[in-house]
Amino acid sequence: MAPTVQVSAPAAGTTRRIEVDGDVLEITPLGSGAEVGRSCVVIRFRGKVVMFDCGVHPAHSGMSCLPYFDHINPAEVDLLLITHFHLDHSGAVPYFVNRTEFKGKVFMTHPTRPICRMLWHDYARVSKIAAEDQIFSTADINQSMEKIELIDYHEERQFRGIKFSCYRAGHVLGAAMFMINIGGIRVLYTGDYSREEDRHLPQAEIPNVRVHVLIVESTYGVMNHEPREQREHRFTNSVHQIVRQGGKCLLPVFALGRAQELLLILEDYWERNSDLHEIPIYYNSPMANKCLRIFETYTNMCSDMVQEQANRCNNPWVLKYIQNMPDRHTFAREEAEMGACVVLAAPGMLQSGASRELFESWAPDKKNGIIMTGYSVNGTLAHELKADPETVSLADGRKVNVKATIKFMSFSAHSDYNQTSEFIRRLKANVVVLVHGEEHEMNRMRNKLKDEYPDLNVTAPQNCQTVALRVPPDRSADAVGPIVEELMLGVKKGKTDAGVSALLVEDTTGSRALLRPEDLISFTQLTTCQVEQCQRFAFQHSLAVLGRAMMDIYDEVEVEDGCLSICGSVQVMLQDQVLCITWDSSPINDVIADSVSLTAIELTKSPSAIHALRGEDAVQAGEERLFKVLCTYLQQEFGRLDLDEVKQTMSFEVDGSKVHVDFATRNVDCKDDDLKGRIRTALRRCERSLRPIPPF
């Protein structure tokens, strides 16, 4: 089974290079290629397929609002990552998940899922108007919901060898930028994002890791937003001006998301201007109460300002001056006498529904005003109004005179040119793919980025046009653990017993880690085990004989406490004429142990070999002489000894501490460690004095 490795984040400047093959990364927009709407971008790399977003086009209906799914085989898509709930990013999910061969996983953030569910049901209800325009049913939504999995900001997930995580994107509640990592290549898809902190949401984060490919929205092209305070001031002034002259102010908005920002701005302005207190502000959303509950649930994901208010036990979403709009018929009856009022109504681009009806009714009166606060997609009435027409033609042939003031000021929370330029610089991205922008704007942005960053590879593909990037062979590995310091300081720590100075570990996503062998357990999920080997067999000679034979092969042969140690790694003991060889298995230790057992077998098979080596008689004679010298020495040093000349043992007492010496095994038994040390030293001195070349 292939091991799974979790590698910690790399420290800066700790990359070393190794050789592996290169590959081609393909990026294909199936929607949002040189257009705004139906975001859907497919990445193909090393056999993995990831789809970012799956939206519908707001200016189209029926099947033509879908991304070009027929360009791919949905069964090949491993992962579908949805950045936020806006329908141009999420609206095609129930279709793709339930009505195609897609078998992968779908991920979105916690707030995105319940909001999507609500918006999809609303969309299915609206698109039911024409059966042939219905791209999914309520049943499709319910079945899709079961397949959607949740992800938190910064949570690292992995599926089929693709690592992925998400970051705060600003824009709307729960909006996320997704980072995927396949084989060490990191691709960041921003979706819609904003680096501007607003009243109800924090700004988009800048991921603290190097990004190889950045797929970024280009909605605002080379334009830059006016500062927020200035824009808010202009907005509230415009609203004030309309209502002051007794006019009705229409704010077409997407039901959820940016509408909450406008509500907070208006609430604050009304609070500060007492002359406005009698003028009603209506929030026309059939989902208003559900929206309120969702925002209350996820207050912790909102801006500091909103959270602080919630912490003071003020529900930031219960607004004093804003009321839900009565149903359409009641409103139609009342509005004639109502005079000045402000209405926030969906949809944001006046395609149909409440905002469209109010526009048709209010546009002919010059006292009234319409303020477009969102982005308007080509092909919608909102976009048409940009040309400042005197009349607009409706689909049913009617014409509407436009006498009301029409203003455009964006609160749509998309990144502007300066924000995106800074984002690219901070991410150190080499390759940038522009999506989600009108063709002309997108191309101007590409040219400006190329002027600003001559080395940057910037492309702006059309729908179904594939950007193929040859990814240079990735030879990098992340150094982890103490080896990082060694590499940075250029210090070389020694090799292990097996001659290994570092391990290179690759996980199923292709990420590599370089680490010291002893750090394997700490920094990976791999486990290591040490095989302890032991061999036993009968041996009729003494340990000293074997030791002497081993000295012909190795320099490092020592005897202590009745144990023969060879090269510090193989231990040999002899007890009751049974030789016991123990060692921790490693290629080198195994060879040493083999040589010990072979030598012992050789000595057992042919006693003459002992003579051939050193001469057993001489060995025996030498041992007896040494025993006698030692006895004399110890007697002089410590006084009376109890001797057993047959077993070659001696016992004595020094200041109450009992000592027992087994000469054959050189084992010293004594509870007093200092005394034990002195006797061992004495033993070694005697041996050295008798043998010019010490045997042990």
Assess 38 for contact with Zn ion (CB under 5 A). Answer: no
List the catalytic residue out of 89, 240, 414, 541: 414
Interstrand relation of 570-575 and 563-566 (parallel, antiparallel or unpaired): antiparallel
Residue 377 Cβ vs Zn ion, minimum distance, rounded to whole Å = 11
Select from 178, 157, 158 the least CA-distant residue to 168.
178
DSSP of 551-565: HTT-S-EEEETTEEE
Residue 375 Cβ vs Zn ion, minimum distance, rounded to whole Å = 8
Query: Total number of residues binding Zn ion (CB under 5 A)?
Result: 2
Residue 253 Cβ vs Zn ion, minimum distance, rounded to whole Å = 13
Residue 414 Cβ vs Zn ion, minimum distance, rounded to whole Å = 7
Strand order in the sheet with 657-662: 642-644, 649-654, 657-662, 667-670
**Binding letters toward Zn ion, positions 106-145, x by CB under 5 A:** ----------------------------------------
Residue 56 Cβ vs Zn ion, minimum distance, rounded to whole Å = 12
**Piece of 190-198, 286-294, 605-613, 676-684 that binds Zn ion (CB under 5 A):** 190-198
Task: Say if CB 192 and CB 55 are below 8 A apart.
Answer: no
The nearer residue to Zn ion, 374 or 481, going by C-beta atoms, is: 374
CA distance 583 to 533: 5
How far is C-alpha 433 from the geometric centre of its chain's CA atoms? 21
Q: What are phi and psi of 529, to 5 degrees?
A: -140, 150
Helix 112-127 to helix 138-147 angle, to the nearest 10 degrees? 160
The nearer residue to Zn ion, 71 or 110, going by C-beta atoms, is: 110
The nearer residue to Zn ion, 184 or 348, going by C-beta atoms, is: 348
CA distance 602 to 568: 23
Task: Return the residues of window 192-211 that contact Zn ion according to CB under 5 A.
Answer: 192
397-429: burial string, b at 16+ Cβ within 10 Å, e else: eeebebebbbbeebbbbbbbbebbbebbeebeb
The residue whose two tokens read 């080509």 is: 378
Q: Quick check: is 414 catalytic?
A: yes
Residue 91 Cβ vs Zn ion, minimum distance, rounded to whole Å = 11
Look at residue 536 and give its three-state secondary structure.
strand
Q: Where are the beta strands (DSSP E) in 455-531?
A: 457-459, 467-471, 476-479, 503-506, 512-515
The nearer residue to Zn ion, 413 or 631, going by C-beta atoms, is: 413
**Piece of 120-128, 191-199, 426-434, 631-639 that binds Zn ion (CB under 5 A):** 191-199
Alpha-helical (H) ranges within 366-469 are: 381-384, 417-427, 439-452
Task: Say if CB 267 and CB 327 are below 8 A apart.
Answer: no
Task: Say if CB 162 and CB 195 are below 8 A apart.
Answer: no
Structure tokens at 492: 């070389």
Task: Return the residues of window 658-687 that contact Zn ion according to CB under 5 A.
Answer: none
**Binding letters toward Zn ion, positions 72-111, x by CB under 5 A:** --------------x-------------------------
The nearer residue to Zn ion, 122 or 192, going by C-beta atoms, is: 192
Residue 258 Cβ vs Zn ion, minimum distance, rounded to whole Å = 9
Handedness of CA 370, 376, 379, 380 (dihedral sign): negative
**Binding letters toward Zn ion, positions 147-186, x by CB under 5 A:** ----------------------------------------
Handedness of CA 102, 107, 111, 112 (dihedral sign): negative
Residue 171 Cβ vs Zn ion, minimum distance, rounded to whole Å = 6
The nearer residue to Zn ion, 183 or 348, going by C-beta atoms, is: 348
Select from 398, 401, 385 the least CA-distant residue to 351.
385
CA distance 162 to 316: 39
Please list, in sequence order, all residues whose beta carbon lies within 8 angstroms of the beta carbon of residue 460, skipping any fewer than 6 positions away.
Answer: 34, 218, 433, 434, 437, 439, 442, 443, 445, 446
The nearer residue to Zn ion, 86 or 113, going by C-beta atoms, is: 86
The nearer residue to Zn ion, 86 or 199, going by C-beta atoms, is: 86
The nearer residue to Zn ion, 117 or 512, going by C-beta atoms, is: 117
Select from 695, 693, 660 the least CA-distant residue to 564.
695
The nearer residue to Zn ion, 279 or 435, going by C-beta atoms, is: 435
Task: Say if CB 497 and CB 591 are below 8 A apart.
Answer: no
| Residues near Zn ion (CB under 5 A) | 86, 192
Active centre residues (catalytic): 414
